[in-house]
Structure 1
């Protein structure tokens, strides 16, 4: 009998059904994220962007205050929290029907964000950069995105050597996932970490084998939006990478992605609708 992958999340007592993939909109409260169109300089503008994303069909808004582009400058946990907490609080009040995710690898920031209203923690480091993260999330009992990365945002481009890419990434995720589950963490979403300690060629390899990540019996998130794999391959700018993003999101959905993390919500929602309609008649 084929294995059935878990397709629900518990969000503060509300069950989110992922049998149809959902879209997570990116909201960066930074001044140096790689795609300028994702940056918002004020709380009011963040609220308006969140409202637009929700109207376009986003189920989650992923709020981050620390740029994780390669070589990005480090900031303190206090600076990170000061950037995102007012935004989370304002969006929870102004757009109460959208779920807030916090994009952080720091346990203290994650805790403060959940207390402010976030319902999901999206950790690009998969617990490798803060030893307190797993116990914190397990204690909070909110869903957790376990992403694969090696090193730090400042060093990850030098850590792309894998004897066998897909099995190696699966193995490294499995170690972290087992630790989480031993702590009683119920809802975990798996993210293979496109662009994090991977070359463009390796990102394409991961995408072609994305269905292998269903072995964890957990939802799978694909974060491909406007990444360098697209614009370097096509010799364009991040600003021109929407079409390429849609192409790779389409492939990800056919390979079993349950969540798409994107800068452009409407286009991603339309992609999900078309792929889902096609799959329903098979």
Structure 2
């Protein structure tokens, strides 16, 4: 049987779930990436200066970003750790200025002290690519802060993660590992009503794993939590654009394809997409929302429309 099923067969995703303290526009949210680092894989160094970082955050908000995600430590494959004081110095002043300007900000960090300081400075969400595994104090810090928390599927550090990309069934394995992590977070006091899940595309994943997870978002959504998809400019997009060629399309040439992935994620019920190019993905998720609304208004036309490809 084909893995491409009709809307009638698998059911259309409902409106994206909301989280208290975050925007609720009734469509997939768009999170703008603000890397205040010298070594991020795509735009490292462009916004390492504080003034340029704040200006870029304001620009992302003006382009329509629902959330601006400020990160001070690169998590690209092979990246090394950043000293805690350096990460604090990079992120907290930028978060504070953006929050004062009325921008909904989140902090991208694996470290509890940075999360606490950023929330005190005005961050409304913590985005932790380790899901609380890199810092045992993170869960308690987030629980005390009472803000939404993005828990990402993670197996090990950026230096080693490519060695841990082994799965029997990547969708089933990632779903099971996240389910176990959810239980651990709840035991540490994190309010389940504030958790957002992220399948961790690119983190201990090969391109074929990323595509399988994107197609299998329905399995993750059945855990009962909103799902964030961070696909922007990642290797699996570059490899697909190469179309069997010898080399990948470089990160700067992946924005149009990223917007297409944002539309696919939104059609499969994603709560939020995390992207570098806000305007293109905002257009994409709006088109997805409009498309789904028209299906809802005339369900008789739903049969045979390939939405939710690979849903399980």
TM-score by length of 1: 0.93
Aligned to 2:118: 113
- Report the alpha carbon displacement of residue 172 of structure 1 after superposing the two structures with TM: 0.8
Give the length in aligned residue pairs.
276
Distance 1:206 1:275 in 2: 19
Please give the residue correspondences for 1:94-243 in structure 2 after superposition, counting only pairs within 5 Å: 95-96=101-102, 98-182=103-187, 183-185=189-191, 186-233=193-240, 234=242, 235-243=248-256
| Contact residue 153 and residue 199 of structure 2 kept, 8 A | yes
Which has the larger strand fraction?
1
Matched-pair contact (CA < 8 Å) for 2:175–2:220: yes
Secondary structure (helix, strand or coil) at the match of 1:23 reads strand
- Tell me how far apart the structure 2 counterparts of residues 54 and 69 of structure 1 sit (CA, whole Å): 24
Please tell me whether the aligned partners of residues 111 and 140 of structure 1 are also in contact (alpha carbons under 8 angstroms). yes
Equivalent residue number for residue 98 of structure 2? 91
SS in 1 for 2:105: strand
Instruction: Report Cα offsets for 1:149-173 as digits up to 9, x if no partner.
Output: 1111111010001122111101110
Q: Secondary structure at the match of 1:280?
A: helix
Partner residue, 2:76: 69
Query: What does residue 17 of structure 1 align with?
Result: 24
Q: Distance in 2 between matches of 1:38 and 1:265?
A: 19
Is 1:42 aligned to 2:52, yes or no?
Answer: no
The Cα RMSD (Å) is 1.8
Q: Which residue of 2 aligns with 1:275?
A: 288
| In 2, Cα distance between equivalents of 1:264 and 1:38 | 17
1:19 is displaced (CA, Å) by: 3.2
CA contact (8 A) 2:197 2:227 kept: yes
- Partners of 2:28 and 2:169 lie apart in 1 by 29
Report if aligned partners of 1:6, 1:218 keep a CA contact under 8 Å in 2. no
Report the counterpart of residue 256 of structure 1 in structure 2: 269
| Structure 1 partner of 2:300 | none
CA offset digits 1:161-203 (Å, max 9, x no partner) = 1122111101110111122233141311110000000000110
CA distance in 1, matches of 2:272, 2:208: 22
| Aligned CA distance change for structure 1 residues 27 and 19 (closer, same or farther; 3 Å) | same
Which residue of the partner structure matches residue 278 of structure 2? 265
Gaps of at least 5 residues in structure 2 are 1-10, 243-247, 296-312
Is the contact between residue 23 and residue 66 of structure 2 (CA under 8 Å) also seen in structure 1?
no
What is the Cα deviation at residue 90 of structure 1? 1.6
**Large movers: runs of 4+ above 4 Å:** 2-6
CA distance in structure 1 between the aligned counterparts of 2:158 and 2:63, rounded to whole angstroms:
31
- The 8 Å contact of residues 30 and 273 in structure 2, kept in 1 or not, is answered as yes
**How far off is 1:16 after superposition?**
3.4
Q: 1:196 to 1:130 in 2, by over 3 A?
A: same
Secondary structure class of the residue paired with 1:24: strand
Equivalent of 1:32 in 18, 35, 39: 39
Q: With structure 2 as the length reference, what TM-score do the two structures score?
A: 0.84
The CA distance in 2 between the partners of 1:250 and 1:100, in whole Å, is 23
What does the per-residue CA deviation read over 1:25-65, in whole Å, with 9 as the maximum and x for residues that have no partner?
Answer: 00001010000278402221112111111111111000000
Structure 1 segments unaligned to the other structure (5+ residues): none
CA contact (8 A) 1:26 1:38 kept: no
Q: Could you tell me whether the CA contact under 8 Å between 1:18 and 1:258 is conserved in 2?
A: no
